[in-house]
Amino acid sequence: MTVPVFRFAPSPNGHLHLGHAYSALLNQQMARAAGGRLLLRMEDIDRKRCTPELEAAMQDDLHWLGFDWETPVRRQSEHFEVYRQSLDRLIRMELVYPAFLSRSDIKHEMQSATEKGIVWPHDPDGAALYPAADRALSMRERQQRMNDGHPFSWRLHMNRALEHVGEPLFWHETTVDSNIEARPQDWGDVIIARKDMPTSYHLSVTIDDALQGITNVVRGKDLYHATSIHRLLQHILGLEPPAYHHHDLILDRDGQKLSKSRRDTSLRSLRLEGVTPEQIRALVGV
């Protein structure tokens, strides 16, 4: 029988808050109940915002909380070459293309379309989709702009990717014990990598979950819809999909999602105030 493998995968770009504590402890509880393994992964591809100090603080908070993980910790920043290989594969398959419109260009396109009465589509996170019309730019022109050093992102050619897959994709969602149909089309041409970084959250999380043999992804509901993209990438890259468990989020008093920039719910400040790990467990209910 295969041993289930769980992981907690924070980004060390701030301090852990109560929401992370819940997610980490739930992973631990589910891993133990399943007789499984528990890994810690640092999703630190953003080299500007993620620092070794923040990572050390996170590990310290997790130890304090009583979260036990297997070592070594996988640090995504140490595996850019692995992600680059998959990116190259997607480039060769012509499923990604260099896209030159910046965020403000997209906004501009959206505004002029809206003035003409066109309803601009948005992704499940509420961001405007990348203008489909930009795909008309020839590959020659794109190559020229890359050679000229223009900034760009590698975006998934969603229509081509869907055609390539040619069948509906599903993931197993353990919160409801059923198979959910993925809707990657709702995301449009998502960013897969950047000019100076051969990956993105979506690409590296998908690759790492497969490389580390993760069987059960337990993470917040805020990533529920992103799973559609991960499912699509898994299929294209021939990777085994894990089961997913998207847990409820811990909200603040105003019903808003907690954020790393809010100090009052950070484990650091709660520790300083004398709150104990037992009290944190009671607070998040794990």
**Interacting residues with ligand GLU (CB under 6 A):** 9-11, 43, 205, 219, 223
* Alpha-carbon span 190 to 106, nearest angstrom: 13
CB closer to ligand GLU, 4 vs 131: 4
What minimum distance in Å lies between the beta carbon of 191 and ligand GLU?
A: 15
CB closer to ligand GLU, 157 vs 219: 219
What minimum distance in Å lies between the beta carbon of 71 and ligand GLU?
A: 19
CB closer to ligand GLU, 100 vs 208: 208
What minimum distance in Å lies between the beta carbon of 101 and ligand GLU?
A: 26
> Are 224 and 201 contacting, i.e. CB atoms less than 8 angstroms apart?
no
- What does the longest C-alpha to C-alpha distance in the chain come to? 62
CB closer to ligand GLU, 212 vs 269: 212
CB closer to ligand GLU, 42 vs 280: 42
What minimum distance in Å lies between the beta carbon of 223 and ligand GLU?
A: 5
What minimum distance in Å lies between the beta carbon of 276 and ligand GLU?
A: 25
> Are 180 and 231 contacting, i.e. CB atoms less than 8 angstroms apart?
no
Pairing, β 153-156 against β 96-99: antiparallel
